[in-house]
Structure 1
Amino acid sequence: MSRSSFGHSSGQYSVIPSSSIEKFRRQSGTSSRVSSAKNARMDVLTHLSVNRASMTIWRLQGTRCHCIEANHHGFFHEGCCYIVLKVFKDRTASLHYWFGSDSQEDERELMHGLAHDIDVAIDRAEIFTREFQGHESHCFIKHFPEGIVYIEGRPRASISVCREYLKRMYVVSGRKYPIASCAEPSAKALDPTKSVILDGFPRIYVWTGEQSSYISRIKAIQVAKRIRNCERNGITHIVVIDANDSERCKPFLKKLQNGRDTELPNVSITGKMAPISIQGTETREGETAILHRVNGDRVLYDMPFIAKKPLRQRFLTQTESYLLGIGAHHPMYVWVGHAASVVEVGNSLSRAKTFSEYLGNSDRQSLCRLLEGYETMEFKSAFCDWREKVARNRKPSRSCSPNTLAVHSRCDLQSLDKESQLVPPEYDKMGSTEVWKVKNCGLQPLSWDEQGIFVNSDCYVITQTCRSSGDVRNTIFYWQGSKSERQDQDTAYNLALSMDYAFDYKSVIIRVLDGKEPLEFMNVIHNTMIVYDKDIMAPPSDLQLYAVTECQTECMRVLQVKPSSTSLTSSAAFVLLSPADCFLWYGEKSGGIEREYAKHMLGYLCPEKQFSYSIVMEGKEQASFWDVLGGKQDYATTVEKNKLKKRAPRLLHYSVSVSGSSLFEDIHEFEQEDISDEDIVVMDTFDEVFVWCGRTKDVDQRKGVAQIAKDYIASDVAGRDDIDVLVNFVSQGAEPRSFTMHFKAWSTEGYGGKAAYDLVRKRLRQENAKINVDVELVDRTYETKPHYPYKVLTSKLVSEGIKIDHKQHHLSNEDFEEATGRTREQFYLYPVWKQEQMLRSARLDPKIGLVGMSQFHSLSVIPPLHLNVLRLS
């Protein structure tokens, strides 16, 4: 989508022209906010650029917007509002405005209008969101891979607030993208399921809870490094303390505020994770997709209901805007078609806010506007038939994935060739195969001549062992007949788990449903199978009808069906056997391989009639043929389309909430290091689901993975049915290529578990050895600078000899202590952001005064309007 799609300019400029500034000046709002809105707009527009890949962040301070330095990106004050503009290499833009939990309402309104002004100036951002502290969407937090740190208060806090804490503790949450929240240093704030960071110079302490995952511990260390580099100029040691290390925990507790707490909380009770169980797992209620069309701002009249799950992509038209609500715990999405009017685009977030309030959602819910063609993964996952539009006018060809099979369907051979590339290499070479039938809660082995023959009232377990270059790979299939009992299905699953245990958890377990056999399964049983129906199984002397279809490339499936003309379909070949006659009926849409295989099957089903049969073509049947079937009736003549299509993979981390319900957390832009040996994760390609289990899980926990897969599919907002999805159970160290191929890189040592955590700690100790914390921290520049009285430095008329960026260097030691309340030695013990905060409180802020002049001199073009607003504080 070009940037001129909505009727605006191309947006290729570095500085906004004065005409645009005059336009925003006229739109500055009420008279009470004219001055602040004008100043903030001019501060932002001065640094606005979309002609190169970059990220720019502005913070509102008083009546001015300050551009944040790159090394402070990711640090957000709880009492402020921010705007984040991310421009990518392809010149697409992602725009966000963020509200701190303690920010003021008038500042929020100002930033709301300012963000929309930027959206107009850059000719509409492809992704535009409103964010609130603690409720950020993935669209926002993905711009900060090193983590987000919340800083208490406001940048211009009073001196008393600046002096309050010398130490600061952060509670770290989040798995892929960590978020550190400020907390008062106290042992009561220690959570056994999380990690905390205590900034106590000259060391930064990272305390890890006993029940916290190793991945979250690594992320906490990552945030601590960022605090060290940005707030301590890289001169501090990072000490990691595990909760079960009593020797290090005792001195750590003494470093907390006032030393009031002397012992850890009871971690064995507080915050303990519920065990994984197949009983009582419930998905989060109310998580359903609802789609509304937007015609105006009135909820009841201008936002009509379109549909609820399952949603289909055709509901979205290019000339309209739509609201998508997935639930109160997800962003409210506004989708805008590429041919929608400019008004529809500009008012989209305001309408989303109105609609969210109407639904009773929290006012802190994220709001996200998406332009057509730039939908997020979460948005697309709400639609049951979403397909990427590579070319608008190109008719998509039919495709078939390994599990979307049916007797009454045929697959496009070209699409099947593409799907066959996904077959793991271990299935290319046949290994040893064994087949068992579930009987009386046990397994009955089948002889070689019985393999490939199934009855839809039974369950079967099939194992395959392949050896390649000394590596042994085991695959366990358990096939569930469409008319089998639930007890037999559970028995087949439990027996498959027992086999996996016997293989030392070095196997892949795949659930195979009757009529949904994947290509891997067909390869194991020599690409052919016969399925008898228990309700119509009859002696050879009775009437029988069999459907022959090519379910995969050169994979044949023979199904016994009811001997009636209603069972025929134009896409298959049929074998009709009666005591007196034998017919081969070819549907007009059946292929040559199906017709030839029907002849071959006749030799197996009824050898005595192998050379005495009649071929009947569809549309040219004799009366005798219909008489055998009991008369001609209507039958299916069209090919049923496959329900599910393969999509880009999603990785979700499974956990259990305090109430015992199943929770699935998306791991965006996943890598192998995002899974560890203590995790259970779900890999979802829409037509196929993998449940991956770490090696530390015991037998009882592994028994629950089948219920986990069922809970996940049931909670899907796209409305998929469990019987339409191929389910695989994968153990750590035995991953098939169909699983590992979705990762950028895969290695046997690439997991993010305890080994990775120990490696990070080892590297941290090496870094500490190179850092000298006893180095002189006090900036001695003040000894070579002329000294001035405090009143001179804070006056509006600044002498030429004063260095504006470092006014504190022109104070004597006595005046410095009186102004800041600390000696220079004590002052430099604070982190950088706290030092800047104290300088602002003392009116010595380097950004106050003529700092704006230095910024304007660095610009190649200065709009004339800006020259009128340059002033001293």
Structure 2
Amino acid sequence: MENLLKSILNTHSLSFQELTMPANVDISKVGKKEGLEIWRIKKFKLEPVAKEEYGEFYTGDAYICLNTKSTSEWNVHFWLGEDATTDEMGTAAIKTVEMDQALAGLPVQYREIQCHESSLFLSYFPDGIRYLSGGYDSGYHHVEDMLKDWKPRLFHCKGKRNVRCAQVECKDKSLNLGDVFILDLGRELYVWMPPESGRLERIKGMACAKNIALVERHGQAQVHILDSDWDQDETFWSHFGGKSAAKKIARARNDDEDYWKRTSEQVTLYKVSDASGSMKATKVAQGEVKQSELDTKDAFILDAVNGGIFVWVGKGCNIDERSNAFLWGENYLKQKKLPKWTQVTSVLEGVEPSSFTQWFGDWEEGKKKKSFEPRLFQVSDNSGKLVVEEIANFNQESLDGDDVMILDALNSIYVWVGAGANPKEKEGAQNTAKKYLQQGALPRHKNTTIETIYQGKETPTFKKFFRSWDDKLFQSDDRSVESMRKLLFNR
């Protein structure tokens, strides 16, 4: 680990004494119980985050999140806010390595960048995540102190499935008619649901506001829902220049990122070496990659194009090589001039997640070929470009009647069409699936099939991809906005 320390010190302007200060958390005791644990980086140490603050991330801070699935299976995520200092980033990296070592090198490690988090990370927070400006130390954390001299805050809730509520400027120009916003006045919260906002966005926005009022404010805040009266509430509009401002609000902006950013490229496997003092990536295979091309004595980078970057470390590598995984990943991003937020995942030989093994058509565990784990996506092709949002840890309730969904079972693609999906998406469902198939890079059978499934007419084959199935689920209105409103607020 000495080489990693030197690299972190040089890269992030840290002193050796600062980085090696005794931790205020005994890392050897973490990961013993199933569930999620979160720490923020504070003065080069780990500070536990209170359970009621899970899902809140300050843009000026760095965090480490450990999800323990069992006593031998962990995922470690280090999250970096867009305004985090280089010192905090460096400390997060080194503490992640320390945690990895305490858990025998078995965790899969993920680097998470604000606004570009993995679907797995977002799945830990069913009510979505919220970005708060500044750093934790800049805020008040006792309710009475917090509410004293309160300044209005506006949050933009973005995303149908994986909701991110980001603090934006509290001005009318921040609003648009297609998204849900939360106006936070301290003791009063307004959930603004304009006419073009979708059902799921509305439900997620209400759930987020309820969580703020109940948990963060300890029940000392009231939530107001503005839907049919979105342009009439005087208190809400008084913070945006009066009700006349409602007439000037822009329509929805389609600024979602195109999921297929590098469609012309192929999956590529590189062998990593830093014997010369700088990282060198030597191409091993491209297009079709095989498990046999990985060597237990070496480290490799798998560039899975839109699937992210994986750094695979063989069991024969020493601790320094294991520790250097994320540095190699970041150096690779720089060499290839890829966006800094590109997902980087570190995996150890023998505990590879399916998100890694799926790129190898011949992957076997022992003498048994590893089965493909199906993946579920919400898709939209309204704007002429395919926008894809993955839903991790999905179940039947992840299927939403307002959407067209794709269930990817590798050699079978199922297009699930919700009863409430808009006519354009219904009509183009097959073409959307073909586009998804053509632009993906997974190794598939050349005769991969596409089957359209309509809500309420699911086949037994389709149902088996879900942990459980209830035919009555889609027959009730329990998931309507009004039903959820009554459930959340009893009104």
Q: Shorter-chain TM-score: what band? A: 0.7 to 0.9
Q: Deviations over 1:201-243 (max 9, x none)?
A: 433222224333322322222222221222110233322222x
Shift in alpha-carbon separation, 1:145–1:318, aligned structure 2, 3 A: farther
2 CA distance for matches of 1:757 and 1:209?
13
Distance 1:50 1:669, change over 3 A: closer
Change (3 A) 1:85 1:273: closer
2:308 corresponds to: 331
Question: Partners in 2 of 1:118 and 1:187 — Cα distance?
Answer: 45
1:690/1:730 contact within 8 Å kept: yes
Selected match of 2:449 from 684, 703, 726: 726
- Residue deviations 1:316-349, cap 9 Å, x none? 343332211223x553211223444333312111
Alpha-carbon distance, 1:66 to partner:
2.2
1:552-602 Cα deviation digits (max 9, x unpaired): xxxxxxxxxxxxxxxxxxxxxxxxxxxxxxxxxxxxxxxxxxxxxxxxxxx
Distance of 1:69 and 1:301 partners within structure 2: 39
CA contact (8 A) 1:151 1:182 kept: yes
Q: Is the 8 A contact 1:167 1:200 kept in 2?
A: yes
Residue in 2 that maps onto 1:271 = 253
Kindly indicate whether the alpha-carbon contact (under 8 Å) linking 2:183 and 2:236 is maintained by their aligned counterparts in 1: no
- Partner of residue 239 from structure 1, selected from 224, 237, 262: 224
Deviation at 1:713, TM superposition (A): 1.1
- Matched residues in 1 for 2:202 and 2:194: separation? 9
Tell me if structure 1 keeps the 8 A contact 2:55–2:129: yes
Over 3 Å counting, the alpha-carbon distance change for 1:345 and 1:657 in structure 2 is: farther
Residue 110 of structure 1: how far off its partner (Å): 2.8
Per the alignment, in what secondary structure is the counterpart of residue 456 of structure 2? coil
Task: Give the counterpart of 1:256 among 239, 253, 272.
Answer: 239
1:352-386 deviation line (CA, Å, top 9, x unaligned): 11111101012233321012343334323333344
Q: Is 1:737 the counterpart of 2:460 in the alignment?
A: yes
Q: Is the 8 A contact 1:190 1:265 kept in 2?
A: no
Partner of 2:59: 78
Q: Deviations over 1:163-203 (max 9, x none)?
A: 88522221122333322111122232223332212222433
**Aligned equivalents of 2:242, 2:274: Cα separation in 1:** 58
Report which of the two structures shows the higher radius of gyration computed on alpha carbons.
1
**CA–CA separation in structure 2 for the residues paired with 1:121 and 1:47:** 5
CA deviation after TM superposition for structure 1 residue 304, in Å = 1.0
> Any residues of structure 2 matched to 1:644-659 within 5 Å, and which?
647-656=372-381, 658=383
Q: Which amino acid aligns with 1:89?
A: S
One-letter code aligned to 1:320: D
Alignment of 1:304-315 (within 5 A): 304-315=282-293
Q: Residues 288 and 367 (structure 1 numbering): CA distance in 2 closer, same or farther, change over 3 Å?
A: same
Q: Equivalents in 2 of 1:311, 1:63: separation in Å?
A: 40
Aligned CA RMSD, in angstroms, stands at: 3.6
1:262 aligns to what SS in structure 2?
helix
User: What is the match of residue 57 of structure 1?
Assistant: 38
Contact 1:311 1:718 (C-alpha < 8 Å) held by counterparts = no
TM-score in terms of structure 2 length: 0.85
Partner residue, 2:143: none
Question: Alpha carbons of 1:338 and 1:273: their partners in 2 closer, same or farther (altered >3 Å)?
Answer: closer
Does the CA contact (< 8 Å) of 1:52 and 1:87 recur in 2?
A: yes
2:299 is aligned with 1:321: yes
- Please, which of 355, 358, 361 is the counterpart of residue 332 of structure 2? 355
Q: Report the Cα distance in structure 1 between the residues aligned to 2:394 and 2:68, rounded to whole angstroms.
A: 22
Whole-angstrom CA distance in 2 between matches of 1:648 and 1:155: 38
Indicate how the Cα distance of structure 1 residues 688 and 150 shifts in structure 2: closer, same or farther if over 3 A, else same.
same
Name the % identity: 23
Q: Distance in 2 between matches of 1:168 and 1:56?
A: 28
1:375 and 2:352 are equivalent in the alignment: yes
Determine if the alignment matches structure 1 residue 93 to structure 2 residue 74: yes
Deviations 1:700-754 (Å, cap 9, x if unpaired)? 6434222122111111212546x51122111111111111221223234424988
State the alpha-carbon separation in 2 of the partners of residues 81 and 88 from structure 1.
23
How far has the Cα of 1:651 moved from its partner? Answer: 1.2
Q: Secondary structure at the match of 2:419?
A: coil
In structure 2, what is the Cα distance between the partners aligned to 1:28 and 1:688? 45
SS in structure 1 of the partner of residue 462 of structure 2 = helix
Could you tell me which residue of structure 1 aligns to residue 103 of structure 2? 122
Q: Give aligned pairs, total.
A: 479
Q: Which secondary structure state, in structure 2, belongs to the residue aligned with residue 310 of structure 1? A: coil
Using the alignment, how far apart are the partners of 1:137 and 1:180 within structure 2?
16
| Cα pair 2:176 2:249 within 8 Å, conserved | no
- Per-residue Cα deviation, 1:508-538 (whole angstroms, up to 9, x for no partner): xxxxxxxxxxxxxxxxxxxxxxxxxxxxxxx
Q: Deviations over 1:536-561 (max 9, x none)?
A: xxxxxxxxxxxxxxxxxxxxxxxxxx
Kept in 2, the 8 Å contact 1:331–1:365? The answer is: yes
* From 406, 415, 418, the counterpart of 1:694: 418
Tell me what 1:345 maps to.
322
Amino acid aligned to 1:689: I
Name the SS for the 2:203 alignment partner: helix
State the alpha-carbon separation in 2 of the partners of residues 57 and 136 from structure 1. 15
**Counterpart of 1:187?**
172
Once residues 81 and 415 of structure 2 are traced to their aligned partners in structure 1, the CA distance between those partners, rounded to angstroms, is 38
| Separation of aligned partners in 1, 2:368 and 2:46 | 49
The question of whether the paired residues in 1 share the 8 Å contact of 2:171 and 2:239 is answered with: yes
**Aligned position for 2:122:** 141
Match of 2:72, SS?
A: coil
Aligned partners of 1:250 and 1:262 also within 8 Å: no
Q: Distance in 1 between matches of 2:93 and 2:5?
A: 16
- The CA deviation string for residues 650-679 of structure 1, in whole angstroms up to 9 with x for no partner, is 111111264x11222211111222222221
**Structure 2 unmatched runs, 5+:** 141-145
CA contact (8 A) 1:652 1:664 kept: yes
Q: Structure 1 residues 47 and 740, CA, compared in 2 at 3 Å: closer, same or farther?
A: same
| C-alpha deviation, 1:765, in angstroms | 3.3
How far does the alpha carbon of each residue in 1:23-76 deviate from its partner, in whole angstroms, 9 at most, with x for none?
x9999958963453244x422337843433353322233455422222222211
Matched residue, 2:274: 296
* CA distance in structure 2 between the partners assigned to 1:192 and 1:753 by the alignment: 25
Return closer, same or farther for 1:347/1:247 CA change in 2, 3 Å cut-off: closer
Give the Cα–Cα distance (whole angstroms) in 2 for the partners of residues 687 and 158 of structure 1. Answer: 51
Superposed displacement of residue 395, structure 1: 6.1
Contact 2:31 2:68 (8 Å CA) reproduced: yes
Where does residue 112 of structure 1 map in the other structure? 93
Structure 1: distance between partners of 2:254 and 2:5: 56
**Distance in 2 of aligned mates of 1:199 and 1:672:** 33
Q: Is the 8 A contact 1:28 1:34 kept in 2?
A: no
CA deviations over 1:240-280 (Å, ceiling 9, x no partner): 222xx24664435425356597215455x442699xxxxxx
Query: Judging changes above 3 Å, is the alpha-carbon distance between structure 1 residues 215 and 383 closer, same or farther for their aligned structure 2 residues?
Result: farther
SS of residue matched to 2:234: helix
User: Aligned in 2, Cα 1:190/1:709: closer, same or farther, shift over 3 Å?
Assistant: same
Q: Which of residues 118, 124, 132 is equivalent to 2:113?
A: 132
Alignment of 1:647-796 (within 5 A): 647-656=372-381, 658=383, 660-697=384-421, 701-720=425-444, 724-751=447-474, 755-766=479-490
Q: TM-score normalized by structure 1?
A: 0.50
1:364 paired residue among 341, 351, 376 = 341
Q: Following the alignment from structure 2 to structure 1, what is the Cα–Cα distance between the partners of residues 282 and 109?
A: 23
SS in 1 for 2:87: helix
The alpha-carbon distance between structure 1 residues 648 and 247, as it changes in their structure 2 partners (threshold 3 A), is closer
* Deviation per residue, 1:413-470 (Å, 9 max, x gap): xxxxxxxxxxxxxxxxxxxxxxxxxxxxxxxxxxxxxxxxxxxxxxxxxxxxxxxxxx
Read off the aligned partner of 1:305 and give its amino acid letter: K
Q: Is the 8 A contact 2:147 2:186 kept in 1?
A: no
| Partner Cα separation in structure 2 for residue 113 and residue 67 of structure 1 | 17
Instruction: Give the whole-Å Cα distance in 2 for the aligned partners of 1:699 and 1:682.
Output: 17
User: Secondary structure of 2:67's partner?
Assistant: strand
Alpha-carbon distance in structure 2 between the residues aligned to 1:746 and 1:109: 45
**2: CA distance between counterparts of 1:708 and 1:728?**
12
SS at match of 2:301: strand
